Amino acid sequence: MRAVAWAMIVLILPGCSVLQSKLLWRARDLAFTPGPRVELLGRDQKSVLSVSTTTIQKVLLAHIRISRTAGTQAELIIVEGNDPNAFAGMVNERRVIGINIAMMKFIGDDIDEYAALLGHETAHWSKGHVEAEDLRSNTIQGVGTLIGVGMAAAGVPAAGLITGLAADIVDASYSRDDEREADAAGIDYMMANGFDPAAAVRLHEKMLKLSGVRIPFLTSHPSGEERIENLKKIIAAKQAQP
């Protein structure tokens, strides 16, 4: 049996462009969905993502463990999107870490790769990078409402109707130093919780192989051979420590 998960809708205004809406799902709600798989439904009632409930639960657990290690809190959400991306930002003045549907499909069921992604984004919070970038022009200023839609009827714990809330999703372009610091801290968080740090290298190598595919994550989190080699050096140094 597959449980069907509706979404919340975030209306956002990127810069001065036309008002846009984004579907958003709380990972915590999805983790308690009955049945072996969760179907995320888009606006046309068609499935935009089919994922095992176990995978969602493991990703949420990784997020909780990494957040505790980092000494910070942020709600984990899944956001619609056709190009792989992830971000740290704010929704209704609450810290969030977002992974979009395209990135979920890209990673699949590899929990270590999710841990690498979550560790890096968590580090942007724990090291104060998001707050530092919040005043930059590439911050997406949220305008409109955040609306809970029929989740209880689909067997998902009720999110309730949430209206009149400003949304502010940060898609920051961090400095090279910020990225290096987040890489190092993210590896620390992974290793402290028993995840394979090599997954961070593997994830970046997979993204680099997608030539000709637009990946917004690589815009805000630049990758490359230099980045991958630096990750390998970080891992080797930390594994060599007594």
* pLDDT higher than 70, residue 170: no
pLDDT digits (tens, 9 = 90+) for 45-68: 888 999 999 999 999 999 999 999
Burial profile 67-91: b = 16 or more Cβ within 10 angstroms, e = fewer: bebbebebbbbbbbbebbbbbbbbb
Dmax over CA atoms of the chain, in Å, equals 55
- 58 within a domain of the structure (yes/no): yes
Number of domains within the chain:
1
CATH (domain of 187): 3.30.2010.10
Find the domain containing 174 and state its range.
13-24+54-148+162-240
The beta-carbon contacts of 213-218 under 8 Å, at least 24 apart in sequence, are 213/83, 214/83, 215/83, 215/84, 215/85, 216/81, 216/83, 216/84, 216/85, 216/171, 217/84, 217/85, 217/86, 217/103
- 3 within a domain of the structure (yes/no): no
- 33 within a domain of the structure (yes/no): no
Sheet harboring 47-52: ordered strands across? Answer: 2-5, 37-41, 47-52
- 43 within a domain of the structure (yes/no): no
User: The tokens 């990703």 sit on which residue?
Assistant: 59
pLDDT at residue 15 in the model: 34
- In 3D space, the residue among 125, 146, 155, 114 whose CA is nearest the CA of residue 30 turns out to be 155
Phi-psi region of 221 (alpha: psi -120 to 50; beta: other; left: phi over 0): beta
* pLDDT higher than 80, residue 40: yes
pLDDT digits (tens, 9 = 90+) for 65-96: 999 999 999 999 998 888 888 888 877 778 88
- 5 within a domain of the structure (yes/no): no
- 203 within a domain of the structure (yes/no): yes
* pLDDT higher than 50, residue 163: no
pLDDT at residue 181 in the model: 93
Q: Is 105 exposed, middle or buried (0-12, 13-18, 19+ CB in 10 A)?
A: middle
Give phi and psi for 203, each to the nearest 5.
-65, -45
Burial profile 19-37: b = 16 or more Cβ within 10 angstroms, e = fewer: eeebbbbbbbbbbebeeeb
pLDDT at residue 165 in the model: 30
- 153 within a domain of the structure (yes/no): no
- 102 within a domain of the structure (yes/no): yes
